[in-house]
Chains A and B, each alone.
Chain A
Amino acid sequence: MTGPVNVRDLAPGTSIVLVDGAEAEIVDNPRDGIWLFARYLSSPSDPSLVGQEEMIFAQNVAAVGR
Chain B
Amino acid sequence: MAMKATRGYRSGLVDLRVGEISREIFVNEDIYAEEQERLFARAWLHVGHESQIPKPGDYFVSSMGEESVILCRDRANRIHVFLNSCRHRGMKVCRYDEGSTTVFTCPYHGWSYGTDGRLVGVPYFREAYHSRLDKEKWGLVEVAQLCNYKGSIWATWDPAAPPFAEYLGDFTRYLDLQLDGWDGREGQAEVLGGVQKWLVPCNWKFPSENFSGDTYHNISHRSVDLAGIGPSGASRRDLGERDASRKLHVCIPDRGHQTIHYVLPAGQLPPPAYLNAPIVAEYFRHCEEERQRRRGEEARLIGAPGEIFPNTALLSRQPRTMAVWHPRGPHQTECWRWFFVDREAPSEVKQFLRDYYIRYSGPAGMTEQDDMENWNYAHAASRGTIARRYPYNYDQGRGTAVTDYTYQGLSVPGEVIDLTEVQSSEQPMRNFYRRWAEFMEADDWSQLATWRHQRKAAE
List chain A positions with a Cβ less than 8 A from chain B. Answer: 28, 30, 32, 34-35, 37, 55, 57-59
Contact with A along B94-122 (1 / 0, CB 8 A): 00000001110101001010000000110
Q: Which residues of B contact A28 (CB under 8 A)?
A: 102
Q: Would you call B110 and A30 a contact (CB within 8 A)?
A: no
Residue of A with least CB distance to B102 = A30
Q: Would you call A57 and B121 a contact (CB within 8 A)?
A: yes
Q: Which residues of B contact A32 (CB under 8 A)?
A: 101, 103, 105, 107, 112
Q: Would you call B105 and A30 a contact (CB within 8 A)?
A: yes
Q: Would you call A57 and B102 a contact (CB within 8 A)?
A: no
Q: A37 CA to B114 CA in the complex, in Å? A: 12
Q: List B residues 1-52 near A (Cβ within 8 Å).
A: none
Min CB distance B130 to A, Å, is 14
* A35-B112, A35-B121, A57-B123 known; A30+B101 contact, CB < 8 A: yes
Q: A57 CA to B123 CA in the complex, in Å? A: 6
* A55-B112, A57-B110 known; A34+B124 contact, CB < 8 A: no
With A34-B112, A55-B103, A58-B110 known, 12 other A-B pairs at CB within 8 A are A28-B102, A30-B105, A32-B103, A32-B107, A32-B112, A34-B121, A35-B105, A35-B112, A37-B102, A57-B121, A57-B123, A59-B123
Q: Would you call B124 and A57 a contact (CB within 8 A)?
A: yes
Q: Which residues of A contact B120 (CB under 8 A)?
A: 55
Q: A37 CA to B101 CA in the complex, in Å? A: 13
Q: Please pick, from B101, B102, B110, the residue contacting A34 in the complex, using a CB distance under 8 A.
A: B110
Residue of B with least CB distance to A29 = B102
Q: Which residues of A contact B101 (CB under 8 A)?
A: 30, 32
Q: Which residues of B contact A37 (CB under 8 A)?
A: 102
Residue of A with least CB distance to B103 = A30
Residue of A with least CB distance to B110 = A34
Q: A58 CA to B124 CA in the complex, in Å? A: 11
Min CB distance A10 to B, Å, is 15
Q: Which residues of A contact B105 (CB under 8 A)?
A: 30, 32, 34-35
- Identify the interface centre among B101, B112, B120, B121: most chain A CB within 10 Å of its CB: B121
Min CB distance A34 to B, Å, is 5
Q: A37 CA to B105 CA in the complex, in Å? A: 13
Q: A37 CA to B103 CA in the complex, in Å? A: 11
Q: Which residues of A contact B124 (CB under 8 A)?
A: 57
Q: Which residues of A contact B103 (CB under 8 A)?
A: 30, 32, 35, 55
Q: A30 CA to B123 CA in the complex, in Å? A: 16
Min CB distance B235 to A, Å, is 50
Q: Which residues of B contact A35 (CB under 8 A)?
A: 103, 105, 110, 112, 121
The 7 lowest CB-CB distance pairs between A and B, nearest first, are: A55-B121, A32-B105, A57-B123, A30-B102, A34-B110, A34-B105, A30-B103
Q: A57 CA to B110 CA in the complex, in Å? A: 8
Q: Which residues of B contact A59 (CB under 8 A)?
A: 123
Min CB distance B121 to A, Å, is 4
Q: Which residues of B contact A55 (CB under 8 A)?
A: 103, 112, 120-121
Min CB distance B324 to A, Å, is 29
> Mind listing 25 A-B residue pairs with CB under 8 Å?
A28-B102, A30-B101, A30-B103, A30-B105, A32-B101, A32-B103, A32-B105, A32-B107, A34-B105, A34-B107, A34-B110, A34-B112, A35-B103, A35-B105, A35-B110, A37-B102, A55-B103, A55-B112, A55-B120, A55-B121, A57-B110, A57-B121, A57-B124, A58-B110, A59-B123
Q: Which residues of B contact A58 (CB under 8 A)?
A: 110
Q: A57 CA to B127 CA in the complex, in Å? A: 12
Q: A52 CA to B101 CA in the complex, in Å? A: 22
Min CB distance A27 to B, Å, is 11
Q: Which residues of A contact B110 (CB under 8 A)?
A: 34-35, 57-58
Q: A28 CA to B110 CA in the complex, in Å? A: 17
Q: A53 CA to B211 CA in the complex, in Å? A: 53
Q: Which residues of A contact B123 (CB under 8 A)?
A: 57, 59
Q: List B residues 390-446 near A (Cβ within 8 Å).
A: none
Min CB distance A35 to B, Å, is 5
